[in-house]
Amino acid sequence: MKRYWPLALVVLVLAGLLWWALGGSRGAPGVHFAQVRHLTIESTVPTNGRVEPVEWGAARAEIAGVVKGIGIQRGQHVVKGEPLVTLDTSAAQSELAAALAKQQEARTEAANLAQGGREAQVSSLRDSIRSAEAAVKVAQRSYDSLSRLAKQQAATRQQVLDAADALTRAKMQLAAYQDQLRTLVTRGDITVAEAKAKDATAAVTLAQHRIDLATVRAPLAGTVYQFDLKVGAYMQPGQLVAEIGDLDQVKVIVYVDEPDLGRVKKGMPVNFTWEARPGQHWWGRVEKLPTQIVPLDTRRVGEVTTIVDNPNHELLPGVTVNATVISAVEKDVVAMPKQALNRLRGSEGVYKLSGDRLVWTPVKTGVSDINNVQILSGLGPGDRVALPGDTELKSGMTVRVLE
């Protein structure tokens, strides 16, 4: 029986070693791994933005009044100068009629004065002058005849004197009529009448201008993207009627967080999505970089201007869209998931699988996207790196590979 003791001892030792090996393997923590491989990485800056028209104009009421007619609706395309709404012009029409009447009256008065006075007055004075001229002629003949007869002693001296007085009175009457005609219209009367005519014309022009202003017109060609008026609304001077813009291209102000601004350059492509149109994408480009940092809620951002083609006018001014700036595209690079990257004692690295153990391996990284990061050195395609889980990872620890 004693001779079997060494053999039994060997079997017992081998069984213990086998149990320890199997138990140790089963007792090692399980860890998920990712494989390093070649990928195309798009480095992006995700954010949001606000849509605005590149070119736009505001149509405003220039006079006060009640909206009487509406010729447009939101989303309609208009040409420059096209009527949008019309305000009630009843008061202005009355003012125009009164101004036209005064203008006609003033013009008539000015024309009469330019001809010497009112026609009836001028005609009456001219008739009186003609009668006075005839009376002078008669008196002159009578005086001449009596003067000859007096020389022949056929008429008395008194008769000659009476005839002379009659002639003088006739001449004086003629002169009075002629002076009255000359002074019927003075230069001052004509000046006043002309000034009244000009004032009346100005009043007509003003009344007509007010009527013209009652029609609010499009300041430029484009699409009406803001319009809420209804017939009967009362407008004040300067009040907004409509906003019109060219929506073939729109401007999107993209809010880029301060730490990401260094990654954004002019000309970079930008992808846009809008929650109101799921699954649809629009592409634009960075047009202008910010000149200052501004607060936005709890963020500090730079306002990056982008230009987006919008041929179907689906992106509307004022809406908020999601934006992704494509800052770099690296094709066929060595990459791994970003979540496998760790920082130890101030340097970046990963826990690489070597056999059944983890080995801390420093790496140098390049561009990254949301999920992956480029590896410039430290790893190669096919290497397996540990992903974070419930177990705290340490270099040298034995692990079980979880699929």
What are the sequence ranges of the domains in the chain? 28-56+246-403, 58-88+214-241, 94-209
Whether 217 and 81 have beta carbons less than 8 Å apart is answered as yes
- What are φ and ψ of residue 240, in 5° steps? -70, 130
- CATH dotted code for 28-56+246-403: 2.40.30.170
Sign of the CA dihedral with 162 first, then 168, 174, and 179 last? negative
Low-confidence ranges of the chain (pLDDT < 70): 1-26, 96, 106, 108-122, 125, 180-194
Closest CA to 286 of 273, 300, 302, 297: 302
Q: What is the pLDDT of residue 135?
A: 86
Q: Are strands 30-35 and 400-402 parallel, antiparallel or unpaired?
A: parallel
Q: What is the pLDDT of residue 203?
A: 77
Q: What is the pLDDT of residue 20?
A: 43
- CATH dotted code for 58-88+214-241: 2.40.50.100
Burial class (CB in 10 A: 0-12, 13-18, 19+), 166: middle
Q: What is the pLDDT of residue 73?
A: 92
**pLDDT tens per residue, range 122-151:** 677 678 888 888 888 988 988 888 888 888
pTM for this model (two decimals): 0.56
Q: What is the pLDDT of residue 14?
A: 57
Q: What is the pLDDT of residue 151?
A: 85
**pLDDT tens per residue, range 195-207:** 777 777 787 787 7
